[in-house]
Amino acid sequence: MITIVGAGKVGVSAAVQIAVKELDDITLIDVIPGRAEGEALDLGHMASILGLSIDIRGSNDYKDMAGSDLVIVTAGFPRKADMTREDLLRKNAEIIKAVGEAIKEYAPNAIVMLTTNPLDIMAYGLWKVTGFEPRRVIGFAGVLDGGRLAYYIAKELGVSPASVQPCVIGQHGKAMIVVPRLTFVGGKPLTELVDEATVKKLKELTVDAGRKIIELRGWSSNHAPGAGLAVMAESIKKDQKKVFYSSVYLDGQYGVKDVFIGVPAVLGKNGVERILELPLNEEELKEFQESAAAIRRGVDELLKML
C-alpha cells in the first residue's frame, strides 16, 4: 500500500498519477476531518470510470497507514508574505515531527518521500525523527526542477523534452544549481547549442517557474510535483532502478557529509540504491559545497526545534 500524508493539491495530484499507473492501493491521510475521505471518494469514482483495479481510501488517523511500504509526505505550510523563514521552519518542523513519529510507529518498514519545504532541511529532520536508514528517506525536488529546465530548453530549441537530459543539483529553491555543461540534448551539451546569454535566460526561467505559477493562478505548482512523485514511486515499487535527481543523504560524496541535498540517485525497492557522482569542475564543486553548507546551517536550526 502507498500512503499519502496531506490531501492538499500536491497530495491529490500525486494520488491521481499513482492511481492511473495502478502502482498499488492508496490511503490518503489529512488532519482536516473529511478532506481525505472526500478526495478518496472522488478518486474512487475516477478509478471506477477508468476501469482501474485499485482501492483508494481516506482517513484523518495516522494508524491507517499501517502496512504501507511507501509513504509520501506532502503535508506542510507554504510560506506566506508575513512569515519569516524561521516561522516557516518552526511550523513545518512541528508537522514533520508528528508525521515522522507516526510513520515510525505504524509503517516502520516503509520508504518515505517528502515535498515539505524547506525541502533538504525537512528531509534531514524526517530522517532524524524516524530513525530510518538514510536510504529510506528521499526528498523530492530535482525531478521538478529538472523537468522545468527541460521544458524551457525544449521550447527554446524546438525539440521534445524527452530529448533533454537536465542537470539541476544542490539546494532546492532559488539557490538551486543548474549545470549547463552537464545538461544534454541528444547527447550534446547545452553549452554547445546555445550562447551564454540564452543559458542564463533558461536558468532564470527555471528558478522563477514556481513564483510565476503562483502569480498567474494564485497557488503553487501541483500537477508537476504530482507527476514527479508518481514516477519516483513507480521506480521504487517496480524496482526499476531509474536515476532521479533527489535530495538524499550524503556521507562523503562530493566532499559532503551528513546532509540531504539534490544529486542523481538510483531509486529501487530499497529506496536509494546508489548515489552517482557527477564530474563537477572546481567551480561547480565549490558552489555545490557552499549549497550544502547553507543546508547544514538550516539543519542546525531545525534540530533545536525537534
Q: How far from chain centre, in Å, is Cα 301?
A: 21
Burial of 163 (0-12, 13-18, 19+ CB in 10 A): middle
Quick one: pLDDT at residue 258? 97
Stronger pLDDT, 305 or 122, i.e. the higher one = 122
Q: How far apart are CA 18 and CA 12, in angstroms?
A: 10
* Percentage of the chain lying above the pLDDT 70 cut: 98
Quick one: pLDDT at residue 87? 79
Q: How far apart are CA 183 and CA 195, in angstroms?
A: 14
Q: How far apart are CA 14 and CA 227, in angstroms?
A: 6
Summarised one tens digit per residue, pLDDT across range 52-87 is: 999 999 999 999 999 999 999 999 987 665 666 677
Half-sphere exposure at residue 48, Cβ-oriented, CA atoms within 13 angstroms:
7
Q: How far apart are CA 52 and CA 75, in angstroms?
A: 26
Interval 188-194 mean pLDDT = 97
Q: Are 113 and 237 in contact (CB under 8 A)?
A: no
Summarised one tens digit per residue, pLDDT across range 25-59 is: 999 999 999 999 999 999 999 999 999 999 999 99
pTM recorded for the entire structure: 0.95
Q: Does residue 32 sit in helix, strand or coil?
A: coil
Q: Are 12 and 20 in contact (CB under 8 A)?
A: no
Quick one: pLDDT at residue 173? 83
Please pick, among 35, 135, 148, 172, the residue that the annotation labels catalytic.
Answer: 172
Interval 240-252 mean pLDDT = 98
Question: H helices of the chain, where?
Answer: 9-21, 35-50, 85-106, 119-130, 142-157, 196-217, 223-237, 282-303
Quick one: pLDDT at residue 79? 63
Quick one: pLDDT at residue 80? 64
Interval 117-141 mean pLDDT = 96
Half-sphere exposure at residue 38, Cβ-oriented, CA atoms within 13 angstroms:
8
Q: How far apart are CA 198 and CA 126, in angstroms?
A: 38
User: 88: pLDDT confidence band, cut at 50, 70 and 90?
Assistant: confident
Go through the domains of the chain in sequence order and give each one's CATH number. 2-139 (3.40.50.720)
Q: Compute the mean pLDDT over every residue in the chain, rounded to the nearest whole number.
A: 95
Q: Does residue 84 sit in helix, strand or coil?
A: coil
Determine whether 45 is an active site residue: no
Interval 211-237 mean pLDDT = 94
Residue in the block written with cell 492508496: 26
Quick one: pLDDT at residue 86? 72
